[in-house]
Chain A
Amino acid sequence: MARLTRARPWLGTLVEIEVRHARAEAPALRAVERAFAAIARVHRLMSPLEPGGDLGRLHAAAPGRWVSVEAETAAVLRAARRFYRASAGAFDPVAGGGGTMDDLEIRGRRVRRRREVRVDLGGIAKGHAVDRACAVLRRCPSISSGIVNAGGDLRCFGAPARLVHVRAPGTRMPAYALRVRNAALATSAPALAPGPLRGLVDPRSARPYRGRASATVGARTAIAADALAKVALFAAPALRDRVLRSYGASLFLQSEAKKKPAPGEGAGLRAKRTGQSE
């Protein structure tokens, strides 16, 4: 088995793809190229940085006007709406954009805004792109395993399990590691530095998240991991646990210790398992 790894800038971050493949490199390289093409497509359709994409055109259209979007975009918007409803708004791509997900109407491939709101598919689009890239890679017969990582939203397939380091909130430093196999992971955390994209918004206040906690969620798909990582930070604990359990997801929370921990006490990390993790 040989290893092939590439990284390119898409979706406002660096997207890494690594695969293990048998025999000659050429078929695996072509599959990696197709996987990046799938990611580039999501970027062009759904990135807030693309004025000509589906979201760009939706924002350019007056509220009340229907906009036709690609089936892929409509599917992601419908997935966002499902997470929004299941989490009672703890996940909301319109939070911080002047309204809520209820301000969007989706009918088939047509979407319209009820009011002047801005939709940020940022995180969930990354998760979706990762899922699409993995689907492309898995169809290549010479690829036995792989991982796609879009700035921390990642998914791996095949054996062996991979070691993923999760950063301590507000820093670049690894705080702990997870062994991951055939699963997706996403982390919601305070921004490290201001960037061109809207940072993590707390839907309870519709303002940028000011907390210091970080939630890492493991799920079957990257799109679910991403949405649920926000639910994990912002939903009340009972609802959070119910939603995570319904998706068979695992949660790892890092919270800033309020006072100095007692000797022998690990105050910084709580590993909470809901649903199956194995």
Chain B
Amino acid sequence: MRHRSLIRFVGPPVALVAAAHAGWATVYLTVEELQRQYFPGVKLRATPVALTPEQAKAIEKRARAKAKGWRPDVWRAPDGSALVVDRVLGKHENITYAVVLDPAGAVRAVEVLEYRETYGGEIRGERWRGQFRGKSAAAQVQLGKDIKNVSGATLSCRHVTDGVRRVLALREVALGG
């Protein structure tokens, strides 16, 4: 069934302006769902990571990323596959993501588990707010609950891809065969 195309202006999220530390978050997958999807029926063994200074240094050299004090969550499967869950903590965004590695240590999948974004510090105050005074909003957009689809300046996924590189280095240096 074909539906007609529609683009309609709804209005500004007026509720947003009052909040000092507004933001939104999306959960795509829980760790359990991820494990069920990529390792169905497989017994995964949690293997805590505690890097020695030498290991951290080796990882930093290979991945060009900090590794001191890095503690991702790691699970191993009997066939040598691995699942690593890591977090990117940026100024405005937190991303929890997972890397699934095959027995040879190659990337089988990268999945974002959770994405969180905050606007603290970006609210420009009365002058910006004043631009919407007097404009009637077709609907009051509720912050957080409603924000799922966003368009605007493209945000780079560089931190996640840097993270994947660090995970690959971890696999080589500390997770063995």
Query: Which A residues are within 8 Å of any B CB, using their own CB?
Result: 5-10, 12-14, 16, 18, 29, 123, 126, 147, 149, 151-154, 156, 158-159, 161-183, 185-187, 189-193, 195-197, 214, 216, 218, 220, 250, 252, 257, 260-261, 263-269, 271, 276-278
Contacts and interface: CB of A to CB of B under 8 A. Distances in A.
Interface residues of B, number: 55
Interface in B1-26: 2-13, 16, 22, 26
A43 to B, nearest CB: 11
A192 B8 contact: no
Q: Which of B127, B130, B135 has the most CB of A within 10 A?
A: B130
Contacts of B92: 172
Interface of B: 2-13, 16, 22, 26, 28-29, 37, 92, 95, 110-112, 115, 117, 119, 122-124, 127-128, 130-135, 139, 141, 146-158, 160-161, 164
A257 B133 CA distance: 14
Given A7-B112, A220-B5, A271-B9, A154 B134 contact: no
A220 to B, nearest CB: 7
Contacts of B161: 9
Given A8-B111, A9-B157, A181-B3, A214 B152 contact: yes
A162 B3 contact: no
Given A260-B130, A268-B132, A163 B5 contact: no
A247 B11 CA distance: 25
B128 A176 contact: no
Given A9-B157, A268-B131, A183 B149 contact: no
A263 B7 contact: no
Nearest to A162: B149
A167 B157 contact: no
B150 A152 contact: yes
A266 B6 contact: no
B147 A257 contact: no
B111 A182 contact: no
A13 B151 contact: no
A196 B159 CA distance: 11
Given A8-B112, A261-B130, A192 B153 contact: yes
Contacts of B160: 9, 14
A92 B130 CA distance: 36
B110 A9 contact: yes
Given A8-B110, A263-B133, A154 B6 contact: no
A23 to B, nearest CB: 17
B92 to A, nearest CB: 6
Given A178-B8, A277-B7, A173 B151 contact: no
Given A6-B28, A177-B10, A181-B3, A172 B134 contact: no
A152 B141 contact: no
Contacts of B127: 257, 260
B155 A177 contact: no
Given A163-B10, A265-B134, A278 B119 contact: no
A254 to B, nearest CB: 10
16 contacts: A9-B161, A13-B154, A14-B112, A158-B3, A165-B151, A172-B117, A173-B119, A173-B123, A176-B9, A176-B11, A179-B10, A185-B7, A214-B153, A264-B134, A265-B134, A271-B9
Given A6-B111, A179-B7, A252-B9, A187 B155 contact: no
A180 B7 CA distance: 5
